[in-house]
Amino acid sequence: MFRSLLQRSSPTRAILVALVVTLCTVVVYSWYIRIQISHLRQLQTELVDRNRRDSLQLLRIQNDLNGLGLAMRDMIERDEPYPLTAWRSQFDRLRTDLDDAMHLEDQLAVAHRTTAQRQYLANSFAQFWDEVDRMFQTAEAGDQQAIPIIRELQTHQAGLSNAVARLLVENNQSEEQAANEIEAVYTRVERQVYLFLAGTLAAILVTSLLLIRANRQLFRQLAKLSEQRSELAQKLIATQESTLQFISRELHDEFGQILTAVGSLLRRAEKQAPQGDTWSKYVREVSNIVQSTLENVRSLSQALHPVLLDEAGVESALDWYLPTVERQNGIAIHYEKDGNSRPISSRAGIHIYRIVQEALNNVVRHSGATDVWVRLCFRPQDLLVEVEDHGSGLQPDRAKRGIGMIAMRERAELVGGTIDWLPVPTGGTRVRLEIPQEQLK
């Protein structure tokens, strides 16, 4: 019944579903974050870094153009007594550096430029160098004839510088756009992190609520089963005690009376038999057997359910029972009483008696001890009963499987008490039973 209830109300399937959903959410979110980080890395490497290197090349081009502009200014001002053709080597060096910078810049350019824009810049530089070549050819014929060409070259150089400056502006705008895109990615990732955390917390909350609900159902069912088990145990113990009391009474009353009558008849027959006759001897032997059987029946009746327990209470029953156990099993029982004795109801008394009886049986069967201490302590708030031995101690497997110990615990719960099996420091076991005062009435 209990297993079927557990199987019917088990939250395993729902918990597994919630776990799968949570794991899938984590996987999807991790994949999304990976894409976002990859996109962010691409922006940072391909846009920002390339844009920085492209700007460096544009600054290099602009610096070379400024160098050309200064050189042309010096050529016009003629501060040095050199012919114009002397500047050819400087122009060639700047041309080589400009060609290299233009080639690198074209590869690193991030800003979106049309083919016409790229071709215009390349044609402008080509025209500029053609004019430079023409200027130097003219300067070979005469410096004054080359001055007008130089002035045209200055205008052309200024135009190229403006074009490069525009490219730098475009690079700055592209860098700002990349920064905005990166910020958007960060914002989107941050928002997704919050959404993921909210979803994860929601999944955890749902799973927790599901577990709480399932646990509450299981605990209600366990409480119901425990209550039913307690009722069943109470009925079984009550039935057992009733049966033992009935058998004890039958043994004491019926068989005892029969054996008493048989013994009386045998004694009368012995008196009527001739003295020294064999028949008289047989009658005496049978009479002794009957008397021994009567004593055994009475002892068995007392062991099953002591009459003293109903008539005088559990204290008197223990006063009779402990010497009997001591005599029958050859062990020394040290009986100690403490506190002011109080009346104990027969309902609680029978359970106390059975617990002490089972504890002593365990000592005799399993501990190997020769001394036992039984304590009955009447405290203000409760009754303390202890059975202590210094034998081999309590075996763990026996504590789990012994039906006698289970019965002792059930009896303790029936009277609202607690029972514990405690190890003794010097070796052995102490059985401690505590029953509240209100349960003894």
pLDDT for position 191: 82
User: What is the domain extent for residue 66?
Assistant: 2-212
pLDDT for position 1: 42
pTM for the whole structure: 0.51
pLDDT for position 10: 56
68: in domain: yes
Residue 134 has pLDDT above 80, yes or no: yes
CB 309 within 8 A of CB 353: yes
**What digits encode the pLDDT tens for the residues 278-309?**
776 777 777 778 777 777 776 776 667 677 77
Residues of the chain with pLDDT > 70, as a percent, come to 84
271: in domain: no
Q: Which amino acid is at 376?
A: L
pLDDT band at 335 (very low <50, low <70, confident <90, very high): very high
Query: How many distinct structural domains can be found in the chain?
Result: 2
14 with 150, same domain: the answer is yes
DSSP 112-128: ---HHHHHHHHHHHHHH
| Boundary (domain end) residue, out of 212, 243, 261 | 212
206 with 316, same domain: the answer is no
Q: Which residues 6+ apart lie within 8 Å of 436 measured at CB?
A: 381, 382, 416, 417
Mean pLDDT of the chain, nearest integer: 79
Provide the sign of the torsion angle of the four alpha carbons 97, 99, 101, 103, taken in this order.
negative
pLDDT for position 256: 66
CB 178 within 8 A of CB 185: no
Closest CA to 100 of 130, 63, 66, 135: 63
pLDDT band at 227 (very low <50, low <70, confident <90, very high): confident
146: in domain: yes
Whole-angstrom CA distances from 43 to 33, 191, 202 are: 15, 19, 34
301: in domain: no
pLDDT for position 103: 84
pLDDT for position 43: 65
Could you tell me the strand order of the sheet in which 382-389 lies? 332-338, 371-378, 382-389, 429-436, 418-423
Q: Which residues 6+ apart lie within 8 Å of 388 measured at CB?
A: 372, 373, 374, 375, 424, 428, 429, 430, 431
pLDDT band at 159 (very low <50, low <70, confident <90, very high): confident
Q: Are strands 418-423 and 429-436 parallel, antiparallel or unpaired?
A: antiparallel
pLDDT for position 35: 78
Q: Give the mean model confidence (pLDDT) for residues 60-76.
A: 87
User: What CATH number is given to the structural domain containing 374?
Assistant: 3.30.565.10
219: in domain: no
Burial annotation 384-416 (CB, 10 A radius, 16+ → b, else e): bbbbbbbbebbeeeeeeebebbebbbbbbbbbe
Residue 402 has pLDDT above 50, yes or no: yes
pLDDT band at 431 (very low <50, low <70, confident <90, very high): very high
Relative orientation angle of helices 2-9 and 143-250, to the nearest 10 degrees? 160
| Boundary (domain end) residue, out of 186, 212, 238 | 212
| Count of C-beta atoms within a 10 Å radius of residue 306 | 23
More confident residue, 366 or 402: 366
Q: For 423, how many CA atoms within 13 A lie in the half-sphere containing its CB?
A: 9
Q: Minimum mean pLDDT among 6-15, 54-63, 348-357: which range?
A: 6-15
Q: Give the mean model confidence (pLDDT) for residues 325-353.
A: 88
Whole-angstrom CA distances from 61 to 44, 159, 211, 334 are: 24, 13, 71, 112
| Boundary (domain end) residue, out of 156, 185, 212 | 212
Residue 369 has pLDDT above 90, yes or no: no
376: in domain: yes
Q: Give the mean model confidence (pLDDT) for residues 347-368.
A: 87
Q: Which amino acid is at 305?
A: H
415: in domain: yes
**What digits encode the pLDDT tens for the residues 255-286?**
667 767 777 776 777 677 666 667 767 777 77
CA distance 387 to 372: 7
194 with 72, same domain: the answer is yes
DSSP assignment letter at 274: P
pLDDT band at 57 (very low <50, low <70, confident <90, very high): confident
Pull the structure tokens for residue 208. 């927790």
More confident residue, 80 or 86: 86
Residue 6 has pLDDT above 90, yes or no: no
267: in domain: no
pLDDT for position 167: 81
pLDDT for position 45: 65
Whole-angstrom CA distances from 305 to 250, 325, 333 are: 11, 15, 21
pLDDT for position 392: 80
